[in-house]
């Protein structure tokens, strides 16, 4: 059996973790800082747990340069849970803003306010979705399920410009944005389809006074790999299991003007009158923020692992922080894509060059009469070289190299060398 040091794991998630972080975590599971109890056994209400949470939040803010007017929340439910959470919270924020406007007309007349709001919900409430892959499609479908298709606007569907398949990002000039949408959602990196936005969509850039679209982004699979303009977003969310840590926690970076006292969530009574869904309290940003992510039992062990990953990143890149990791991520992706491009008769890179993901490199093997057989041979031979986790997503097949932060430059070079070797056979 191969040792850990002999394997480079390119699985799409859960991703590999740094060995020294795992060694630290293994020790902490038995006895955390000489307390005689393992970290998973300490109360989530303890001062020890609060310190782990606070340090992880501070280190994340430092690494990504998150401004002070944003709240960092540790939640549960994964990215799929956030598909629902963003709908509940952002629709609630929209209702609160409309309620405040209605109160200027109707004063304290609750019945009149409700009447005004009912008309506005029917005619104005929209959630905008840019669909560029399997995950953004799931987010769009969840919004339709929760609030009804009449309130969900499909801004762009990448399949319409790519023969029914994902692999491109529609030109922004073709996007059909709603006026004053409750939110505009997009997935920054699509793990299944290997599509990544090259940068922040210019059409969503806020105005000089800070007004503009309320932007929500799913960054589950490329967070911590490049610098992001945090101030352009109202919500950024991501599961931990790609670049941050282990499966079990989800992070939401939320602009504080979505939270009390600026924007308290509307009452369940009002939402019922308006025919809008009332979200589970564990998905309430307001509730989680008030309780420093400890409304219910949070896995402190998973927060600890995330914190250790962040400390390692900060120690590795020091003053460069995320810019240092971005340079490495770009170099790794360049090595792998150039190896694939060197053998166009053997490999077909799935996404368009303008939308290629640095994190999930998806390709097919087109050499020979039987693609499936060729890909099975590639996977078998790569496994013999210690290259694991390269099988594509079950829904699309092919080969997928998930080039997360845990993949070293040497690991990327090993894969690039194998791609060249197989291409030359």
Give CA–CA dist 406/210, Å, rounded: 36
- For the question of residue 242 being annotated catalytic, the response is yes
Quick check: helix, strand or coil at residue 365? strand
Number of H helices, E strands in the chain: 11, 14
Give the residue from 289, 233, 296 showing the smallest Cα distance to 263: 289
Q: Which residues contact 227 (CB under 8 A, 6 or more apart)?
A: 64, 65, 322, 323, 326
175 part of the active site: no
d(CA 321, CA 228): 12
Please answer whether residues 47 and 32 qualify as being in contact, where contact means their C-beta atoms are separated by less than 8 angstroms: no
Q: Which of 242, 255, 273, 321 is catalytic?
A: 242
Active-site annotation holder among 128, 188, 193, 218: 218
According to DSSP, residue 41 is labeled: G
CA gap 368, 357 in Å, rounded:
27
Tokens 């995320």 identify what position?
322
Of residues 94, 135, 188, 193, which has the active-site annotation?
135
**C-alpha separations of 346 from 350, 352, 390, 394 in Å:** 13, 17, 17, 22
Query: Any idea which residues carry the catalytic annotation?
Result: 135, 218, 242
């Amino acid at each position: 059996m191969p040792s850990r040091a002999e394997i480079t794991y390119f699985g799409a998630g859960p991703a590999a973790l740094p060995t020294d972080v795992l060694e630290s975590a293994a020790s902490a599971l038995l006895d955390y800082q000489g307390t005689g109890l393992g970290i998973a056994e300490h109360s989530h209400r303890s001062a020890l747990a609060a310190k782990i949470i606070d340090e992880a939040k501070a280190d994340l803010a430092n690494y990504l340069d998150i401004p002070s007017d944003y709240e960092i929340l540790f939640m549960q439910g994964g990215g799929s849970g956030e598909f629902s959470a963003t709908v509940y919270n952002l629709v609630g924020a929209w209702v609160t803003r409309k309620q405040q406007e209605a109160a200027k007309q109707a004063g304290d007349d609750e019945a009149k306010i409700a009447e005004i709001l009912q008309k506005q919900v029917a005619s104005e409430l929209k959630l905008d979705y840019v669909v560029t892959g399997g995950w953004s499609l799931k987010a769009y479908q969840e919004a339709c399920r929760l609030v009804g298709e009449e309130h969900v606007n499909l801004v762009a569907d990448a399949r319409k410009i790519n023969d029914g398949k994902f692999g491109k990002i529609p030109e922004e000039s073709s996007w059909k944005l709603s006026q004053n949408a409750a939110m505009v959602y997009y997935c920054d990196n699509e793990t299944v389809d290997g599509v990544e936005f090259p940068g922040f969509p210019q059409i969503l850039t806020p105005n000089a006074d800070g007004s503009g679209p309320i932007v929500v982004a799913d960054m589950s699979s490329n967070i911590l790999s490049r610098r992001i303009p945090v101030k352009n977003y109202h919500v950024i969310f991501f599961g931990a299991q790609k670049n941050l840590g282990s499966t079990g926690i989800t992070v939401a970076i939320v602009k504080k003007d979505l939270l009390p006292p600026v924007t308290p969530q509307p009452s369940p009574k009002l939402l019922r009158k308006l025919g809008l869904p009332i979200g589970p309290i564990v998905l309430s940003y307001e509730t989680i923020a008030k309780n420093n992510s400890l409304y219910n039992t949070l896995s402190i062990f998973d927060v600890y692992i995330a914190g250790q990953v962040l400390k390692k990143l900060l120690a590795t890149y020091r003053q460069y922080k995320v810019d240092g990791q971005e340079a490495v991520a770009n170099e790794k992706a360049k090595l792998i894509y150039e190896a694939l491009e060197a053998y166009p008769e053997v490999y077909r890179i799935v996404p368009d060059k303008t939308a290629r993901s640095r994190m999930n490199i998806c390709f097919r093997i087109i050499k020979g009469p039987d693609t499936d057989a060729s890909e099975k041979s590639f996977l078998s031979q790569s496994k013999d070289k210690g290259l694991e986790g390269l099988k594509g997503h079950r829904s699309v097949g092919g080969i997928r190299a998930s080039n997360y932060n845990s993949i070293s430059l040497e690991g990327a070079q090993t894969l690039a060398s194998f791609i060249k070797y197989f291409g030359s056979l």
